Amino acid sequence: MQNSESRVTRSHTATPSLPARLMLMAGLALAGAASAAAPAAAQQAADTVAAIRARGYLLCGIAGQVPGFSAPDSRGEMRGLDADSCRTVASAIFGDANKVRFVATTSQNRFTALQSGEIDMLVRNTTWTLTREASLGFEFATVNFYDGQGFMVKASSGVTSARQLAGASICVQPGTTTELNMADYFRAQNIAFTPVVIETVEEVQKAFISGRCDAYTTDASSLASFRMTQGANANQYLLLPEIISKEPLGAVVRKGDWKFFDIVRWAHFAQLTAEELGITSQNIGTFTDSNNPDVQRFMGRTGDLGKMLGLAPEWAVNVVTQVGNFGEMWERNITPMGVQRGINNLWTKGGLQYAPPLR
């Protein structure tokens, strides 16, 4: 075998001359560059904003059944932090927060829906990771909730720490960072466990309630949301103290359409800026004649910021008037869950929410 390989290596009958090899290498390099440039050109040619305007509404992917983030109210109106993040973008583009249609997605189909163009953006308790940006063709434009993965058990179990879950069965959804984080955590702790992998949130929660699994793991915010929906039975469920991961959740768009990316990102920053400036949906009219340069730019009186984004001069005003500043969104959707704002507070109050200058 070794001699045969040597004879093939030494054979020169099929080896091109040096000039020919150089020409071949150059041709392959050009072909490779062309093939690499084709997807990039296709991405750059995409104009999501034009498609949204032509359609007349934004298509926004959400979970659709997570109270506090996206769930219908008693009148069938979609409510929650994620739903309002969608409305924020619609109000920036159209001046009308109602020009959005919500598309319910699962943890399994959410990325396909975004890649295929079934939705324009995704705001579905989705964690920002390197893999999702580098290999799936996405960009995370905002973080509307800094979260972390936790565990819930029944209070009657006597378990007060995740370190007491040795041998436990734990309900989890597939296709999520939650599943990977759980495996990493228990491996590091040298704790054996049995994952009970179930497709939808509703099925996971039913399995947990029925006793099919000993614990339920997902983002701590979602666990708090689930407990809130239990009403008088909420005290039967205990959220364990361990937070085992970083889960920055926010709005996801397709990579390459930077005009739309900018609008999604800066609509969020406009809400943070408004909160910093003390501008709310209730008092924004009192800032019309302010002499503060930051306020003047926010109100669209100076700076041409709307023009730079391809939006109306009053785009930021529309966002706050129709949806509110970030603090208002939080109070409306998350505070009723009993979740403290904590690291989701403004940077001026010790949190991580920070907006670059609108200038």
Give dist(CA 65, CA 71) in Å, integer. Answer: 5
Looking at per-residue confidence, does 120 or 11 come out higher? 120
Q: Is residue 4's pLDDT more than 70? A: no
Give dist(CA 147, CA 88) in Å, integer. Answer: 21
Residues 103, 31 contacting (CB under 8 angstroms): no
Whole-number pLDDT of residue 338: 81
Residues 154, 166 contacting (CB under 8 angstroms): no
Instruction: Provide the 10 A C-beta neighbour count for residue 314.
Output: 15
Whole-number pLDDT of residue 107: 85
Whole-number pLDDT of residue 230: 92
Asked whether the whole model's pTM tops 0.85, one would answer: no
Phi/psi-derived region of residue 292, left when phi > 0, alpha when psi is between -120 and 50, beta in every other case: beta
pLDDT category of residue 213 using cuts at 50, 70 and 90:
very high
144 contact partners, CB below 8 Å, separation of at least 6: 81, 82, 85, 123, 249, 250, 251, 268, 326
Tens of pLDDT, residue by residue over 288-311, are 999 999 999 999 999 999 999 999
Tens of pLDDT, residue by residue over 175-184, are 778 999 999 9
Whole-number pLDDT of residue 155: 96
**In the chain, helix, strand, coil percent, each to 5?**
50, 15, 35
Q: Is residue 7's pLDDT more than 70? A: no
Give dist(CA 103, CA 120) in Å, integer. Answer: 10
Strand order in the sheet with 237-239: 194-197, 169-172, 215-219, 149-154, 237-239
Whole-number pLDDT of residue 98: 98
Looking at per-residue confidence, does 269 or 32 come out higher? 269
Residues 179, 147 contacting (CB under 8 angstroms): no
Whole-number pLDDT of residue 22: 38
Instruction: Tell me the two tokens of residue 205.
Output: 């929660």
Specify the residue for token string 């940077």.
Answer: 347
pLDDT category of residue 285 using cuts at 50, 70 and 90:
very high
Whole-number pLDDT of residue 359: 94
Whole-number pLDDT of residue 346: 98
Specify the residue for token string 């392959």.
Answer: 28
Quote the mean pLDDT of the chain: 88
Core vs surface per residue 85-96: b (16+ CB within 10 A) or e: bbbbbbbbbbbe
Looking at per-residue confidence, does 336 or 86 come out higher? 86
- Among 341, 343, 338, 150, smallest CA distance to 239 is for 150
pLDDT category of residue 16 using cuts at 50, 70 and 90:
very low
pLDDT category of residue 233 using cuts at 50, 70 and 90:
very high
Whole-number pLDDT of residue 200: 87
Q: Is residue 36's pLDDT more than 80? A: no
Q: Is residue 28's pLDDT more than 50? A: no
Tens of pLDDT, residue by residue over 69-94, are 999 999 999 999 999 999 999 999 99
Tens of pLDDT, residue by residue over 149-194, are 999 999 999 999 999 999 999 999 987 789 999 999 999 999 999 9
Whole-number pLDDT of residue 31: 40
Looking at per-residue confidence, does 339 or 8 come out higher? 339
Average pLDDT over residues 102-115: 95
pLDDT category of residue 26 using cuts at 50, 70 and 90:
very low
Whole-number pLDDT of residue 337: 86
Give dist(CA 276, CA 76) in Å, integer. Answer: 33
